[in-house]
Structure 1
Amino acid sequence: MSIFSKEEAQKLLKKALGYSKADECEVSLNGSEAGNIRYARNAVSTAGEISRLSLSVSSSFGKKTGTATIDEFDDASLEKVVRRSEELAQLAPENPEHMPLLGPQEFPESIGYVAATEAITPDTRAAAVAKSIQVSKDAKLQAAGYLENSTNSLAIMNSKGLFAYNKDTDVIFSITTRNEEGTGSGYAARGFNDVSKLDTFSATKIATAKANGSIGAKAIEPGKYTVILEPVAVAYMLENMFFGLDARNADEGRSFMSKPGGGNRLGEQLMDQKVTIYSDPFHPELPSSTWNREGQLLTKRNWIEKGVVKNLSYSRYWASKKNVDPVPGPGNIIMEGGTESIEDMIKSTEKGVLVSRLWYIRMVDPQTLLLTGLTRDGTFYIENGEIKFPVKNFRFNESPVIMLNNVDALGKPERSISVESYRSYLVPPMKVRDFTFTSLSDAV
């Protein structure tokens, strides 16, 4: 068994902590149970289940800390791993940024656990994939996809009296469909805490429509275009920006949040007024833990509000250096949307490009957050409010910060997965002007 209940975790951590002779000690228990199924060319290729459970001990003497990990939980093994962490701490150099452990905290229970998702069986996964494969066959396409469900638990306890526990579930699904000739490609991805929300049939329908619709793509000139980005493309485009909401990186001149001459952009109007980005551990579509690994409470917090930078995360160390209160980083990311559907955005576009997905995104300039990457899996030319024909894929060079200054319209936020990080975000489709395509790509 890899998933401990709150009571079971508390009992085990208390026992391990009882062996400590360090000035400070923190013990964590991390468990996961996951199952997956993978398929390609309309046939299942692999399937399996993985169970993991480990206990980690961090011991500190003054500013010297050592950490050891074990996956055996008898009394002798628990004492052994505590002693090992203490030995490593005595050998370690002092950490000038060491912060004392936090004392007891109160954390509300998260809403990220769904029993039905934990109860998924190999038969459940096989049935979901069978629906997807049949859709692909009916469309005379080849499908390659992946479905994984997981249940995770994490508990921490320290010698100052802090204890925290979280349990959550997740299910992710991604599907790529292509024709035999390799000239058309479509993609869809879904992620939920609750498996009852997963519909592999409809997701594959979308992917097959993209694949068949992208056959016979024509080349058009690169340049600046009005672009409609579907939610999965938005998630890929904004992910690097979400990772950059940190005060230290900004203060040290290492991010797009750095102010010329020093300091950060807190309080500045950095984006269009339509842009509001926040985190909320109790959002029903994207719940997160209510605490972080430092034992800090996570609450609803605006990061960008109507285009203004309202908050940046401050680690406890950096907050002490700057004489401000610590601000824990986001446990999830949600971007507010609007009322327009993708169809509405297309109808209001005189000339533009519909982008289904972006991929292979790389950083060009951290200071401006300039990114480069490619479109894929269905890119279409729009003229006079209609999709006219599929177009060859583009390479782009664009900054999400500049992009979010050029927002014309937003739609309803959807939970979207970035398969590069396997993180989920709640983001809307968006219509933006002057998006920069720099060259063509022969990829489909």
Structure 2
Amino acid sequence: MSTDPLDLADRALAFTDGDAQVTVTRERSLLSRFARSTPTQATAVDDTSVSVLVVRDGHVGTVETNDLSDDGLRAAAARARDAARAAADAAGGHGEHPGLPTVAQAGTPSAHAGFDAATADLDPAPGGAALAAAFAATAEHGLEAFGIWTTGRVETAIASSAGLRVADDVTDAYLKVIARDAHGRSGWGAAAGVAAGTLDADAVARQAVARVATTDPVALAPGEYEVVLEPDAVGSLLDMLGGLAFDGLAHAEGRGALTDRLGTPVAATGVTLVDDPLAAGGLPRAFDADGVAKAPLTLLRDGVAQAVAHDRRSAARAGGDAASTGHALAPGGSPWGAAPTNLVLHGGTAPDVGALIAGVERGLYVTRLWYLNVVHERSTTLTGTTRDGTFLIEDGRLTKPVRDVRFTDAALGILERTSALTTATSLVCEADFYGRRAAHGCVVPALRASGFRVTGQTTG
């Protein structure tokens, strides 16, 4: 019996009747955690799951199983059918799901460079070498290393009663190193990509080491400061902004940040933001969870809001000429809506971060942001803290380390007050996988902005 994901999807689809979609996801991955320059956890995953979606009168039923036998697939199809029928009966009317996409509606997925054969082999040796390099680089400076190294291969296949039959095969790798001294002062370094061989563990560790303060940090009073955000901090903001401003469901329901603002300036003139699943340096993807082909979507052009992301369900809710943009997060559409997962912020003209810092008389340098939470969805107001390398900027240079601060500011507001961006961009993502592996990230430059709202000091 074939173990090919597309063959498995076809086999499961044969047990359904009416409108149905089967999604098969196979993950093979390795993950190593480390603390105090010692490996603490090693995990290997080899998992194949089958999701059966059935649509009845505009209502859906979804069931997932790891039982790949004919009996297991038959039972999953029956449960999905019963769930859809029960939902339709309970509603007493036609639901809002527009039905499965036809082959023409889904489009043809583009080829991409999201697969690396060497990474797909999942050899644990590169991970061991990465940890050894990180431990050695931090030890040179009397520091300890904390973090994770992980790599994976994810195969996805979709077959539907509407004739859709697509498959994708991608790899990803990620390394983060937090260098810490005996006083708890820390610095951050990270790298991600399609290929594990492109991650330079020594360079990542030395980046973290360079951000560890050598003197006790000073306190910073609440207020508004000019700020230089490294790519890791920018990526965190944009990842949150993706769901707040560009969720087509929230937009259709009038609670999104861009409601009544499409076609108007919402960010600085130099800010162009695209969701590009085929971008060089990113983590490419061929299609969304509905099987709709992914393609670049311009969200902001020179600061002007252009579009929001839709899956088929949110597009149906929006009405008019709205259509799926290939952003379904779950088969049949997520109840949370649709969101961009391949954000690319175009770079500017600053040659490097040093040039951003040189333009600041007094302000704050931030390596990364941590523990971000939404305060107000419509205004994109977030709160969080800085972490692992925060410094004062005085007269165009880094001076004293600063005790990590809490900030409360609008993500769109920071983009509106952006004055400069570096030319170079880098991939930023977070890969602490505690469920199904779904690696995604933002390709971003560093930026400088005014009016960064510091609201307090951390106690740690």
Q: Is the 8 A contact 2:238 2:343 kept in 1?
A: no
Q: Is the 8 A contact 2:231 2:444 kept in 1?
A: yes
CA separation of 1:334 and 1:214: change in aligned 2, threshold 3 A? farther
Moved more, 54-63 or 341-350: 54-63
Q: Is the 8 A contact 1:393 1:440 kept in 2?
A: yes
Which residue of structure 1 aligns with residue 404 of structure 2? 393
CA separation of 1:363 and 1:64: change in aligned 2, threshold 3 A? closer
Q: Which residues of 2 match residues 192-207 of structure 1 at below 5 A?
A: 192-207=193-208
Q: Distance in 1 between matches of 2:248 and 2:68?
A: 39
Please report how far the alpha carbon of residue 69 of structure 1 lies from its aligned counterpart in structure 2 after TM superposition. 2.4
Which residue of structure 1 aligns with residue 254 of structure 2? 253
Which residue of structure 2 aligns with residue 79 of structure 1? 74
Please report how far the alpha carbon of residue 419 of structure 1 lies from its aligned counterpart in structure 2 after TM superposition. 5.7
Question: What TM-score, normalized to structure 2?
Answer: 0.89
Q: Is the 8 A contact 1:103 1:161 kept in 2?
A: yes
Q: Is the 8 A contact 1:191 1:415 kept in 2?
A: yes
Q: Which residues of 2 match residues 199-238 of structure 1 at below 5 A?
A: 199-211=200-212, 213=213, 215-238=215-238
- 2:452 paired with 1:435: yes
- The letter of the residue matching 1:173 is L
- The letter of the residue matching 1:250 is H
> What secondary structure is seen at the aligned counterpart in 1 of 2:416?
coil
Please report how far the alpha carbon of residue 331 of structure 1 lies from its aligned counterpart in structure 2 after TM superposition. 4.3
Moved more, 66-75 or 24-33: 66-75
Q: Distance in 2 between matches of 1:87 and 1:402?
A: 47
> What secondary structure is seen at the aligned counterpart in 2 of 1:157?
strand
Which residue of structure 2 aligns with residue 404 of structure 1? 415
CA separation of 1:214 and 1:255: change in aligned 2, threshold 3 A? farther
Q: Which residues of 2 match residues 339-350 of structure 1 at below 5 A?
A: 339-340=349-350, 341-350=352-361
Which residue of structure 2 aligns with residue 164 of structure 1? 166
Q: Distance in 2 between matches of 1:63 and 1:338?
A: 46
- The letter of the residue matching 1:221 is A
> What secondary structure is seen at the aligned counterpart in 2 of 1:92?
helix
> What secondary structure is seen at the aligned counterpart in 2 of 1:243?
helix
CA separation of 1:63 and 1:319: change in aligned 2, threshold 3 A? closer
- 2:354 paired with 1:324: no
Q: Is the 8 A contact 1:282 1:288 kept in 2?
A: yes
Which residue of structure 1 aligns with residue 14 of structure 2? 18
> Which of 368, 380, 389 in structure 1 is aligned with 2:379?
368
CA separation of 1:40 and 1:157: change in aligned 2, threshold 3 A? same
Q: For 1:44-67, what per-residue CA distance to the aligned partner results, in whole angstroms no more than 9, with x for missing partners?
A: 111121111011222233334322
Which residue of structure 1 aligns with residue 56 of structure 2? 61
CA separation of 1:441 and 1:81: change in aligned 2, threshold 3 A? closer
Q: Distance in 2 between matches of 1:229 and 1:420?
A: 22
> Which of 81, 85, 89 in structure 2 is aligned with 1:90?
85
> What secondary structure is seen at the aligned counterpart in 2 of 1:298?
coil
Please report how far the alpha carbon of residue 68 of structure 1 lies from its aligned counterpart in structure 2 after TM superposition. 2.4
Q: Is the 8 A contact 1:110 1:287 kept in 2?
A: no
Q: For 1:172-223, what per-residue CA distance to the aligned partner results, in whole angstroms no more than 9, with x for missing partners?
A: 11111111122x1111121111112101111110111111x35311123221
Q: For 1:201-246, what per-residue CA distance to the aligned partner results, in whole angstroms no more than 9, with x for missing partners?
A: 11110111111x3531112322111111111011122222112302
Q: Distance in 2 between matches of 1:384 and 1:55?
A: 58
Q: Is the 8 A contact 1:185 1:214 kept in 2?
A: no
Please report how far the alpha carbon of residue 349 of structure 1 lies from its aligned counterpart in structure 2 after TM superposition. 1.7
Question: What TM-score, normalized to structure 1?
Answer: 0.92
- The letter of the residue matching 1:283 is A
> What secondary structure is seen at the aligned counterpart in 1 of 2:277?
coil
Q: Distance in 1 between matches of 2:384 and 2:220?
A: 18
Q: Distance in 1 between matches of 2:299 and 2:381?
A: 20
Which residue of structure 1 aligns with residue 239 of structure 2? 239
Which residue of structure 1 aligns with residue 367 of structure 2? 356
Please report how far the alpha carbon of residue 73 of structure 1 lies from its aligned counterpart in structure 2 after TM superposition. 2.5
- The letter of the residue matching 1:157 is A
Q: Is the 8 A contact 2:228 2:449 kept in 1?
A: yes
Which residue of structure 2 aligns with residue 261 of structure 1? none
5+ unaligned residues in a row in structure 2: which ranges?
328-339, 434-438
Which residue of structure 2 aligns with residue 286 of structure 1? 282
Q: Is the 8 A contact 2:148 2:177 kept in 1?
A: yes
CA separation of 1:96 and 1:87: change in aligned 2, threshold 3 A? closer
Q: For 1:91-133, what per-residue CA distance to the aligned partner results, in whole angstroms no more than 9, with x for missing partners?
A: 3335621221122242223321111111232222111110000
Moved more, 11-20 or 217-226: 11-20
Q: Distance in 2 between matches of 1:90 and 1:346?
A: 60
Moved more, 272-281 or 339-348: 339-348
Q: Is the 8 A contact 2:248 2:315 kept in 1?
A: no
Which residue of structure 1 aligns with residue 436 of structure 2? none
> Which of 24, 27, 31 in structure 1 is aligned with 2:26?
31
> Which of 124, 127, 143 in structure 2 is aligned with 1:125?
127
Q: Distance in 2 between matches of 1:441 and 1:43?
A: 28
> Which of 398, 422, 425 in structure 1 is aligned with 2:442?
425
Q: Is the 8 A contact 2:36 2:144 kept in 1?
A: yes
5+ unaligned residues in a row in structure 1: which ranges?
259-263
CA separation of 1:11 and 1:367: change in aligned 2, threshold 3 A? closer
> What secondary structure is seen at the aligned counterpart in 2 of 1:239?
helix
CA RMSD between the two structures: 2.1
Please report how far the alpha carbon of residue 420 of structure 1 lies from its aligned counterpart in structure 2 after TM superposition. 7.5
